[in-house]
Structure 1
């Protein structure tokens, strides 16, 4: 492994470690997303706690945390497998942030950002899948799980050389949602518009 590879992997992790949800919440004087709402420092919880503008900012920054390291690594000539490793490091930074006591979010937006360089076709398909599931069920977590689970198959038909790295990323994100999967089966998962649970830590 070259020094450049190590540098990019470390940089991706550090970029991922900047928790957009916590930073944006402090800027807008919102409750700490790790101790209020669902307890997850991500876009959906910030939407419940502070509305659309803070949520959009969190989404944008979280996407960029995945896109920028992967784009840079692509132009530096990294192989598809190594690009997958860079993407995973960015997501691991979001999930286990160095700057925030290693307690982070689910990394869905960061994973999406890491997949963006593959092409607009994949991005559009993932967004459409997520939106369809949210519209049909109201569950953001279910939409994320389904979209991420389908991403390797979609990648195979768009740019098959990236199927393996996308599969690696998908496994990480689905595994991160294990608690959501349990709550979905139990009928206890919160829907995206349930703002009434924005006060106090909701762990159901």
Structure 2
């Protein structure tokens, strides 16, 4: 049953997710991400257009807006399903921001932040795979897709071992599907050999 605090957290998570930290960080440096680099309003495009320091700032903001509401839901001792809906709301806010005309980014960092609150080891495995893949191929979308796949596999292993609740495992798998769908254009460019490389 949805309670008033839970509904409020879902709304807060969506609004927090909607804050376009990457766009704001880049704008503070005189860059409009919507027309620069890849045109995506995510942290990777901040790195591409504004440098690594700005990327870290944008990445931190994008992760925190997923992690903090999810962690707050856990502190309220609500059921895992309620925690998952808060994390999902933050991801939705990032991908369909109310401040950007219901457009947005790919929700990788925001989903990673929510997952960090729910299942830190799964999130850290995804982060490690992202870093390793990116260092090899220098393509952000490939690293993000590889990280999502790694999270799905690690979540399956932890779930099979009884170390991850089914609700959290379903969140991971649902988030992976969402990330794949949000990367449709990237996947088309990868197949055509036209994806942006750092």
Residue 14 (structure 2) aligns with: 13
Residue 189 (structure 1) aligns with: 195
Deviation at 1:172, TM superposition (A): 1.2
Task: Give the superposed CA RMSD.
Answer: 1.4
Residue 146 (structure 2) aligns with: 146
Deviation at 1:20, TM superposition (A): 0.4
Greater mean alpha carbon deviation, residues 75-84 or residues 40-49: 75-84
Which structure has more relative contact order (CA 8 Å, sep 6+)? It is 1
Structure-2-length-normalised TM-score: 0.90
Residue 111 (structure 1) aligns with: 111
> Which consecutive residues of structure 1, in runs of 5 or more, have no partner in the other structure?
194-204
1:132-174 per-residue CA deviation (whole Å, 9 max, x = no partner) reads 2112222110111121123132123333212112112221111
**Matched-pair contact (CA < 8 Å) for 2:17–2:65:** yes
Residue 93 (structure 2) aligns with: 93
How many matched pairs? 191
Residue 135 (structure 2) aligns with: 135
Deviation at 1:68, TM superposition (A): 0.2
- The yes-or-no answer on 1:4 pairing with 2:5 is yes
**Matched-pair contact (CA < 8 Å) for 1:153–1:163:** no
Aligned-partner SS, 1:141 = helix
Measure, in 2, the Cα distance between the counterparts of 1:9 and 1:120: 21
**Where do residues 1-204 of structure 1 align in structure 2 (5 Å cutoff)?**
1-29=2-30, 31-158=31-158, 159-161=163-165, 162-191=168-197, 193=198
Greater mean alpha carbon deviation, residues 117-126 or residues 159-168: 117-126
Deviation at 1:182, TM superposition (A): 1.0
Measure, in 2, the Cα distance between the counterparts of 1:93 and 1:118: 18
Structure-1-length-normalised TM-score: 0.88
> Which consecutive residues of structure 2, in runs of 5 or more, have no partner in the other structure?
none
**Matched-pair contact (CA < 8 Å) for 2:94–2:107:** yes
Measure, in 1, the Cα distance between the counterparts of 2:155 and 2:78: 18
Aligned-partner SS, 2:157 = helix
Deviation at 1:119, TM superposition (A): 4.2
Measure, in 1, the Cα distance between the counterparts of 2:39 and 2:154: 31
